[in-house]
Structure 1
Amino acid sequence: MNGILGRKVGMTSFYDETGKNIACTVIEAGPCVVTQVKTEDTDGYNAVQLGFDDKKEKSTSKPMMGHFSKANSTPKRHIVEFRDFNVEKELGDELTIDDVLIEGDIISVVGTSKGKGFQGVVKRHGFAGVGDATHGQHNRQRAPGSLGASSDPSKVIKGLKMAGQTGGDRVKIKNLKVLKVHTDKNLLVVKGAVPGHKGSYVIIEK
């Protein structure tokens, strides 16, 4: 599986050849450094580890400094491993966007969704609530309602949709089309939205 690491820049839109306005996301993809190459003989599987975004040396532990020095690289903030990488790269090589992607490719983007804190069932799960405030429905408009069984089994069933922490999860969006590739600026324009806030790290898989 090929891929590259990047950072979400933000969303924009442009018109295609038919005049239709398309919402798209701009991603700063790479350049990445190959910080480790794993093989079947030494590690039991084939993989390539990529590092993205420079990090201060004082914020890096000594073991990680030794890890990056083997690749003759500066410390990296975001490190991800790709199994069965098809692009031929050696330890310390730089991976750019044109090594992996071209316009028209279909990709998947992995990111961390925006955290929304503790939310109720209406916002978290899309419950409709009680639409009519009359007939004794006092302060019940956004309540979850019955939680299920009574004396048997005398407990709340696991997985029941209730209020709780929302967002901040690892999310993968599949089948996104690459609309533009700007190799000189390391920018990638993808059709649709990708998870995360502006400036958040994303993993681009092909």
Structure 2
Amino acid sequence: MTGFILGEKGEMSQIFDDQGIRWPVTKILTSSCYLIDIKTKDKDGYFAALLGFKAVKNIKKPVLGKLTKAGVKTPLRFLKEIRFPDSLDDILVLKNEEGKVNGLEIKSLNLKLKIGDQINPKLIFKVGDKVKISGKSKGKGFAGVVKRHGFAGGPRTHGQSDRERAPGSIGQTTTPGRVYKGKRMAGRMGGERVTLKNLKVVEVGDDYLVVSGLVPGAKGGLLEVVSF
């Protein structure tokens, strides 16, 4: 099954199955998600769909131009491309009588999406689907090696009162005379793109999804939900 949508992380909750086992779930709000443009391999060198998401009051003029061209009157905060793999043959490009690209067809869903259409999660996902969710993780600020990489720290005895959370040696002497690239050290933690796979859809509404488990980022963060 092929599907894609943008959403924002909502609240977490819990559900109970038939055996009384409690499962954590996360709600993803998907209202105001539109198909804005389509990138084709012939013209752009790759195949992707440009989606717009989250209605706001004010937007910048370049974004307004994109939305106006697509026929979307709702000001949207985010524009994000969902790139399709070359091996994917479930999505076809639709063209008008003049030969211009004006939409997509998802064959497995028997669904046609025109540029400017709002995407309804009920038409794309169903309960039991496995999805892949990508987002930006929570920023933790500047962190030491114990928190950032799980180092054990130094010994607590023999007079080393100030070495409990120190990284220890970071290299050799004159040879090689430098610190190797990729050495795990203290630095900024979090705020990176994180992808979680095989999350199960447990509920679908007109403007939301509920998936099992955790999803990346803070509440209100942008999420990409795909199933291909």
Q: Same fold (TM over 0.5)?
A: yes
Counterpart for residue 147 of structure 1: 170
Are the equivalent residues in 2 in contact too, given 1:15–1:22 (CA < 8 A)? yes
Amino acid at match of 1:129: G
Matches of 2:53 and 2:122 in 1, distance apart? 16
Matches of 1:44 and 1:163 in 2, distance apart? 39
Are the equivalent residues in 1 in contact too, given 2:5–2:30 (CA < 8 A)? yes
Could you tell me which runs of 5 or more consecutive residues in structure 2 were left unpaired when the two chains were aligned.
85-90, 92-105
User: How big is each residue's C-alpha offset from its partner over 1:134-169, in whole Å with a ceiling of 9 and x where there is no partner?
Assistant: 212221111111112222001111101100000000
Could you tell me which runs of 5 or more consecutive residues in structure 1 were left unpaired when the two chains were aligned.
none
Counterpart for residue 100 of structure 2: none
Counterpart for residue 35 of structure 2: 34
Shift of 1:182: 2.3
Matches of 2:121 and 2:32 in 1, distance apart? 7
Q: Would the alpha carbon gap of residues 64 and 31 (structure 1) be closer, same or farther in structure 2, given more than 3 Å must change?
A: closer
Matches of 1:43 and 1:146 in 2, distance apart? 48
**SS at 1:89 equivalent:** strand
Matches of 1:143 and 1:39 in 2, distance apart? 51
Matches of 1:104 and 1:171 in 2, distance apart? 23
Q: Which stretch shifts more, 95-104 or 22-31?
A: 22-31
Counterpart for residue 194 of structure 2: 171
Matches of 1:82 and 1:158 in 2, distance apart? 32
Matches of 1:163 and 1:129 in 2, distance apart? 13
**SS at 2:114 equivalent:** coil
Matches of 2:129 and 2:146 in 1, distance apart? 37
User: How big is each residue's C-alpha offset from its partner over 1:1-48, in whole Å with a ceiling of 9 and x where there is no partner?
Assistant: 531000001211111111111011111123411111233444344332
Matches of 1:139 and 1:168 in 2, distance apart? 29
Amino acid at match of 1:203: E
Are the equivalent residues in 2 in contact too, given 1:37–1:90 (CA < 8 A)? no
Counterpart for residue 17 of structure 2: 16
TM-score scaled to structure 2, two decimals? 0.82
TM-score scaled to structure 1, two decimals? 0.90
User: How big is each residue's C-alpha offset from its partner over 1:26-80, in whole Å with a ceiling of 9 and x where there is no partner?
Assistant: 11123411111233444344332111111334x322x322221122212211112
Counterpart for residue 102 of structure 2: none
Q: Would the alpha carbon gap of residues 148 and 42 (structure 1) be closer, same or farther in structure 2, given more than 3 Å must change?
A: closer
Counterpart for residue 157 of structure 1: 180
How many pairs were matched up? 201
Amino acid at match of 1:48: A
Amino acid at match of 1:8: K
Matches of 2:48 and 2:166 in 1, distance apart? 49
Q: Which stretch shifts more, 80-89 or 110-119?
A: 80-89
Counterpart for residue 223 of structure 2: 202
Are the equivalent residues in 2 in contact too, given 1:2–1:82 (CA < 8 A)? no
Matches of 1:137 and 1:157 in 2, distance apart? 27
- 1:1-206 correspondence to structure 2 within 5 Å: 2-57=3-58, 59-61=59-61, 63-73=62-72, 74-84=74-84, 85=91, 86=106, 87-130=111-154, 132-183=155-206, 186-206=207-227
Counterpart for residue 87 of structure 2: none
**SS at 2:67 equivalent:** helix
Q: Would the alpha carbon gap of residues 38 and 134 (structure 1) be closer, same or farther in structure 2, given more than 3 Å must change?
A: closer
User: How big is each residue's C-alpha offset from its partner over 1:84-143, in whole Å with a ceiling of 9 and x where there is no partner?
Assistant: 45352111111110122110000111000000000000000011113x422122211111
